[in-house]
Amino acid sequence: MIRALLAALAVLAVPGAAAAQTVAIIHARALPVASAPVDDATIIIDRDHIRSVVAHGTVPAGARVIDASGRIVTPGLIGAATQLGLVEVTSGPLGPAFDVQYAINANSALLPVARADGVTRAMTYPGGAATAPFSGMGAVLRLVPEGDILETPRAAMFVAIGNTSQAGAGGSRAAQWVLLRNALEEARRFAAAPRAVGPRDQLLSRPDVEALGGVIAGRMPLAIQADRESDIRQAIRLAADEKVRVVILGGAEAWHAASDLAAASIPVILDPETDLPQTFDALGARLDNAALLAKAGVTIAFSVSGNGLYLSYDAGIDMREGAGIAVANGLPYADGLKAMTAGPARIWGLANAGTLAPGADADIVIWDGDPLEPASAPVTVFVKGVEAPLGTRQTALRDRYAPGRANDPLPPPYR
């Protein structure tokens, strides 16, 4: 009751909050991703979904009209691997059962920044691997400006192979793979007989084996964080042996196994700025990794940059810069945009996301330039058919300290 009341007050308090309605974006250069670009497009948003994208299309009576002359319009971007909304990213005593959904903070100052850079959805995933090699379960967020941002909890299981979790596996990469395979085996035993008492030699707790149920059933993607070619080939083997849906996260040397990844339909979420041997697992890192993978037919998406420092602080601009760098290094432009939209939607099973196809979710961005240029920015962002305010702490600071205010009589805190 109190919670509902607070939620209602929050709605009233947010300026510019608007209900979804019929919107017509006209004269746009639409990049629908799922189909060819449309010039002078009329994009009709019907409440929370896209009705149509048609060249010179007619505007429905009563629709709000936005003139996007000369502007590129794309689907909202999807951060394929972020830690948005999270502070707590390590799992403590839990392994597979660690679940980030309980820690997500919708008031994180990082979220408006990501949205103002065009991100409307994001996978947020746990880091570390206290119960090696498991990091735990990630969740998909929908960056609505108000209300609950948790869209799909338990959207994927994350494990970390190689340098990241080696310490937790007795310092051994071989042990990591044995632990992972054993965990899947224990999960299968549990699924077959949930009420049976686990054998004495079972390594995982009951919540942990239970959490793996979706993975062994082939519903929940198993995201394996790995860079070294040998680990990527092990992941391909694991997918075949265990009939699980594997996604590679990192994949600095994935280009070495591009054709085998494509044949196994294993997607790769990569950092396109990785061209240094940051670890001994990434000695083969190169800037055309994305181009080589896409050419081989691998579905790709982008994580944020290898600087680590700003993993999710600039989730949007950083991903766009990475996409631009991938394109500068041989990735076709359309594939660069796809890797921020339809690619991650496909990887994480978001059926209506990542395109401007009729019926798709009304997550739409109108840009002031090329979205793959990090110097560009959105001018309008719709999430779930609602125009989102683009103000952030940063724009508030910008306005307070703008050069034109240098001679204000009162100091900045009074502005």
Q: Is 275 one of the binding residues for other proteins (CB under 8 A)?
A: yes
Is 141 in contact with 114 (CB distance < 8 Å)? no
Q: Is 331 one of the binding residues for other proteins (CB under 8 A)?
A: no
Three-state DSSP class for 60?
coil
Q: Which of 86, 110, 137, 248 binds other proteins (CB under 8 A)?
A: 110
Q: Is 412 one of the binding residues for other proteins (CB under 8 A)?
A: yes
DSSP structure class, residue 283: T
Q: Is 252 one of the binding residues for other proteins (CB under 8 A)?
A: no
Query: Between residues 136 and 162, which has the closer beta carbon with respect to other proteins?
Result: 162
Q: Which of 325, 339, 381, 386 binds other proteins (CB under 8 A)?
A: 325
At its nearest, how many Å lie between other proteins and the CB of residue 25?
Answer: 21
Residues 6+ apart with CB under 8 A from 88: 100, 103
Burial 58-72 (b: 16+ CB within 10 A, else e): eeeeebeebebeebb
Q: Is 35 one of the binding residues for other proteins (CB under 8 A)?
A: no
Looking at the DSSP assignment, which residues form a beta bridge with residue 158? 136, 223
Q: Is 150 one of the binding residues for other proteins (CB under 8 A)?
A: no
The pair of structure tokens assigned to 199 is 């054998």
Q: Which of 244, 362, 372, 390 binds other proteins (CB under 8 A)?
A: 372
CA distance 160 to 195: 30
Q: Which of 10, 296, 328, 334 binds other proteins (CB under 8 A)?
A: 328
Q: Is 124 one of the binding residues for other proteins (CB under 8 A)?
A: no
Q: Is 298 one of the binding residues for other proteins (CB under 8 A)?
A: no
Q: Is 88 one of the binding residues for other proteins (CB under 8 A)?
A: no
Q: Which of 276, 351, 408, 415 binds other proteins (CB under 8 A)?
A: 276
Query: Between residues 43 and 292, which has the closer beta carbon with respect to other proteins?
Result: 292
Taking CB under 8 A as the binding criterion, the range among 74-82, 150-158, 209-217, 271-279 that sits at the site for other proteins is: 271-279
* Residue pointed to by tokens 């009341």: 5
CA distance 320 to 48: 25
Q: Which of 136, 221, 324, 354 binds other proteins (CB under 8 A)?
A: 324
Q: Is 285 one of the binding residues for other proteins (CB under 8 A)?
A: yes
First to last CA, the chain: 37
Long-range contacts of 210-213 (CB under 8 A, 24+ apart): 210/97, 211/96, 211/97, 211/99, 211/136, 211/137, 211/154, 211/157, 212/96, 212/157, 212/183, 212/184, 212/186, 212/187, 213/187
Task: Report how many residues bind other proteins under the rule CB under 8 A.
Answer: 50
Sign of the C-alpha dihedral, residues 206, 213, 90, 138? negative
Query: Between residues 42 and 83, which has the closer beta carbon with respect to other proteins?
Result: 83
Binding residues for other proteins (CB under 8 A):
109-110, 255-256, 273-280, 282-287, 305-307, 309-310, 313-314, 317-318, 321, 324-325, 327-328, 368, 372-377, 393-395, 397-398, 401-404, 406, 412
